[in-house]
Structure 1
Amino acid sequence: MRIAAVDLFCGAGGLTHGLEQEGIPVIAGIDFDPACRYAYETNNKARFLERDISTVTADELNRLFGDVELKILAGCAPCQPFSTYAQRYEQDGNDGKWGLLYEFARLAEGVSPDVITMENVPTVAKHGVFTDFVDALERLGYNVWFGVIDSARFDVPQTRRRMVLLASKHGPIELVQPEKFKPKTVRQAIGRLRALAAGETATNDRLHASSALSEKNLRRIRASRPGGTWRDWPRHLVADCHKAATGRTYSGVYGRMEWDKPAPTMTTQCYGFGSGRFGHPEQDRAISLREAAILQSFPREYAFVPKDGEVQFKVLGRLIGNAVPVNLGRAIARSIHSHLASIVG
């Protein structure tokens, strides 16, 4: 039977790439961010549609699927509204990006795909929009499974806890867990990349570029040890905001990664030394954009910008940090294959 997927909120293509690598064709990816187009279309067979998901109709998706016999509707609604930081500013949970899961449910009802998958931050489950999403799928006749997983269990070299949801019209479905678990480390992932200085770009890979550091931040990273915190620094290097009582608990910034452990969660600011534990384990710089992409389990050759395109840290950091890790996408695809094999026979 012919199977294919459409990827909503596709971003740079992490989920699509994982699905394709495991033999699930993806017809199209939909995202309203034009910066995603080059990476998405260059590395994947699917076409990119630059659209606001609220304007997409079920009829359009059905035309994309065509005569496909088994339809998969996949997506990772932007997670910022559900992050711990964003919750400080939330209102009633029904405006702006909070409503994107309702759009996902609307399209699921109109398309009636065989399988649905969604990935988001764990805290999404605390909000009514997620409960409404699950309830809507169950009313439509789906068997729904969801759970919080650590992506490190699925060959992603970082500690990245995520909510994964799978739903099927053909019986119970769940994420297939690996039989053996040995986390991939930072050393295994990026240990062989050429050394860089802060602010340097590799001649053979424009994405292997690290952001520049001020003289004070250079002194700070030189005073940092892998796995340590800014508390290890001489007092004159400690930022004023961390000296205050309200800042003493923020130990997860200005830190170096450890070679023999998974990386911390990649964020949209993963190229910045002061934005998290994103310091290189031994070189005096933050990790490069390429290293961040590899820690998201993108292949080394995954292209994010044209050869003559501008490498913009803020834009590419957003694309990389927001992506579904490719290897998590592969695990989702294997789970779908396993489920469909049991129903097709």
Structure 2
Amino acid sequence: MKYTLAEFFCGCGGTSRGFTRSGRFNVVLGNDVKAEALRTFAYNHQNDDVPPITIREDIRTLEISQIHNAMKERGVEPGDLDCMIGGPPCQGFSQMRRVEHREKGKIVKLSGYSKLAHDPRNDLVLRYLEVAEALRPKFLVIENVPQMLNHGFEGRLGKLSEIVIEMLEKDLGYKVEVAVLNAADYGVPQLRERAIFIASSIGNASLPPATHADPSKPHLLAQGRLPWVTVGDAIRDLPLPSDKLDEIGGMGLDLYTAPPSIYAAAMRTSSSFPYNHVTRSYKQAILNIIREMRPGQTWDAESKRMRASYDLAIDKLASEQGISSTVARDLLEESGQLNPVFYKNYYSSAYTRLAWDAPALTITANANFLGSGRYSHPEALRGITMREAARLQSFDDDFRFITSDNEHLDSTRTGIGMDMIGEAVPPGLAQAIAEHLATELDAHRSGLQRQEQAKVVYA
């Protein structure tokens, strides 16, 4: 039995990939505003049992009738949708005020409207709930950054999420469970925390049980959980990447350079070598920084180590030549033996390298910029490729990121690709949610069947 899923703010399709990978869901609808992301979503669902309808439009201007008509094309009548999922952006949102578009369609005024509508940052959350009210899915899932649970509203931290829960329970009649889940606890090689709301109209709401754990916590491993998947497990089997052009995508599987880990073997779903394993060029100044970085270390630790080394060199030169420390430092800097950048203060993961033996830190849309986080390869003098980032996000190798909106299947525009990958829900986490919800839907369906059988018997 397969169930139905509609995804809003779908991006390139991380959530829907996880749901289809579970083998229990057909994705019937995907909605987003980004052209390349929606094209990637459609491309990777084209061979599904039921390829989804895609709608590129702002959810605030999207008519409910248009959504119903699209789902009817996929055999889903009003009230029959099994699951609706989406991650309304919660940081900054859009500057387009809701009142500019309220007259375009019949928009239901929920009780929380007066509490949220006057703040334009809440537009997308509110509209998502209004669409849910119209579609009435059995399960409604909201995925967002953990900060959403502490988002201030009317002078109090956390009030936004309280209002969302109140609207789900009182207005829409759902039972709600909320928690912050770490993707690493579900077999994703990345320490990525996300706030997950699961709302159920068919019984109590619950969250999927964790399957993995921090290997430094033996009491969790003793419960049957597996150790976290590491960066080495995820990407060590990938070869040297193409330089700017995706020249090795589509070639033979013999390009893999090492026997796969259990995780990597599960990711090797493509009949040929995957696309998007492309590196970009970096300025020499950036390469000079990451050359000195050791895997898994913070910027504070590495800059402190480098400054200590420089101090010894400064003292030695000053003593040998009878000059001041200031002059000695200037001479070392001019000769390239001292890099002044290590005297600057950056946040902890800036310019740092991934560690082979641990999960990655959060892969974001800025993973194209090495100063924005821990995105440097553990050994090579470069940043990670789109394919490496995808592996760390738990996208399997058959998933291709289309980085242009023209007729070509371009897969080389790293900035656009990283934006899609970093904004996606990890498919591994989505799959865990999908399998959990499918079990709940199975139980509900069995209960309805027993009721029908009982009616026949007593009739």
Q: TM-score, normalised by structure 2?
A: 0.67
> Given the alignment of the two structures, is residue 304 of structure 1 paired with residue 401 of structure 2, yes or no?
yes
Q: Which residue of 2 aligns with 1:224?
A: 293
Gaps of 5+ in 1: 83-91
Q: Which residue of 2 aligns with 1:204?
A: 248
Q: Whose Rg is larger? A: 2
> Given the alignment of the two structures, is residue 32 of structure 1 paired with residue 3 of structure 2, yes or no?
no
> Given the alignment of the two structures, is residue 54 of structure 1 paired with residue 60 of structure 2, yes or no?
yes
Q: Does the 8 Å contact 2:229/2:358 carry over to 1?
A: yes
Structure 1: which amino acid aligns with 2:161?
F
Q: Which residue of 2 aligns with 1:10?
A: 10
Q: Does the 8 Å contact 1:216/1:237 carry over to 2?
A: no
Q: 1:215 aligns with which of 284, 309, 313?
A: 284
Q: 1:65 aligns with which of 27, 51, 71?
A: 71
**Partner Cα separation in structure 1 for residue 282 and residue 436 of structure 2:** 43
**Partner Cα separation in structure 2 for residue 263 and residue 104 of structure 1:** 31
> Given the alignment of the two structures, is residue 121 of structure 1 paired with residue 145 of structure 2, yes or no?
yes
1:258-337 mapped onto 2 (5 Å cutoff): 258-305=355-402, 308-309=409-410, 311-337=412-438
Helix, strand or coil at the partner of 1:118: strand
Q: Which residue of 2 aligns with 1:191?
A: 236
**Partner Cα separation in structure 1 for residue 365 and residue 205 of structure 2:** 31
**Partner Cα separation in structure 2 for residue 169 and residue 308 of structure 1:** 41
CA deviation after TM superposition for structure 1 residue 238, in Å: 4.5
Helix, strand or coil at the partner of 1:28: strand
CA deviation after TM superposition for structure 1 residue 279, in Å: 0.8
Structure 2 vs 1, CA of residues 284 and 196 (structure 1 numbering), >3 Å: closer, same or farther? farther
Q: 1:78 aligns with which of 77, 83, 89?
A: 89
Structure 1: which amino acid aligns with 2:19?
L
Aligned length: 330
1:141-220 mapped onto 2 (5 Å cutoff): 141-179=173-211, 180-196=225-241, 201=245, 203-205=247-249, 207-220=276-289
Structure 1: which amino acid aligns with 2:202?
H
CA deviation after TM superposition for structure 1 residue 202, in Å: 5.4
Structure 2: which amino acid aligns with 1:204?
I
Q: 2:167 aligns with which of 136, 140, 143?
A: 136
**Partner Cα separation in structure 2 for residue 59 and residue 93 of structure 1:** 22
Structure 2: which amino acid aligns with 1:74?
I
**Partner Cα separation in structure 2 for residue 187 and residue 94 of structure 1:** 48
Q: Does the 8 Å contact 2:245/2:412 carry over to 1?
A: no
Structure 2: which amino acid aligns with 1:61?
I
More moved, 108-117 vs 305-314: 305-314
Q: Does the 8 Å contact 1:156/1:184 carry over to 2?
A: yes
Helix, strand or coil at the partner of 1:239: helix
- CA RMSD, Structure 1 to Structure 2 (Å): 2.3
**Partner Cα separation in structure 1 for residue 394 and residue 417 of structure 2:** 15
More moved, 115-124 vs 176-185: 176-185
Cα deviation 1:280-323 (Å, max 9, x = unaligned): 00111111111111111111121112765262222212111000
Cα deviation 1:17-49 (Å, max 9, x = unaligned): 111112211111000111212210111132321
Cα deviation 1:128-166 (Å, max 9, x = unaligned): 433222111101210001100100011111000000111
**Partner Cα separation in structure 2 for residue 9 and residue 264 of structure 1:** 23
Percent sequence identity is 30
Structure 2 vs 1, CA of residues 211 and 20 (structure 1 numbering), >3 Å: closer, same or farther? same
Q: Does the 8 Å contact 2:11/2:32 carry over to 1?
A: yes
Helix, strand or coil at the partner of 2:428: helix
Q: Does the 8 Å contact 2:85/2:142 carry over to 1?
A: yes
**Partner Cα separation in structure 2 for residue 238 and residue 93 of structure 1:** 49
More moved, 173-182 vs 335-344: 173-182
**Partner Cα separation in structure 1 for residue 417 and residue 120 of structure 2:** 23
**Partner Cα separation in structure 1 for residue 386 and residue 166 of structure 2:** 39
Q: Does the 8 Å contact 2:2/2:26 carry over to 1?
A: no
Cα deviation 1:312-337 (Å, max 9, x = unaligned): 22221211100011111101101111
Q: Does the 8 Å contact 1:81/1:98 carry over to 2?
A: no
**Partner Cα separation in structure 2 for residue 157 and residue 167 of structure 1:** 27
Q: Does the 8 Å contact 1:101/1:129 carry over to 2?
A: no
Structure 2 vs 1, CA of residues 294 and 93 (structure 1 numbering), >3 Å: closer, same or farther? farther
Helix, strand or coil at the partner of 1:18: helix
Helix, strand or coil at the partner of 1:233: helix
Gaps of 5+ in 2: 46-50, 94-115, 152-158, 212-224, 250-274, 311-337, 447-459
Q: TM-score, normalised by structure 1?
A: 0.88
CA deviation after TM superposition for structure 1 residue 64, in Å: 3.2
Helix, strand or coil at the partner of 1:265: coil
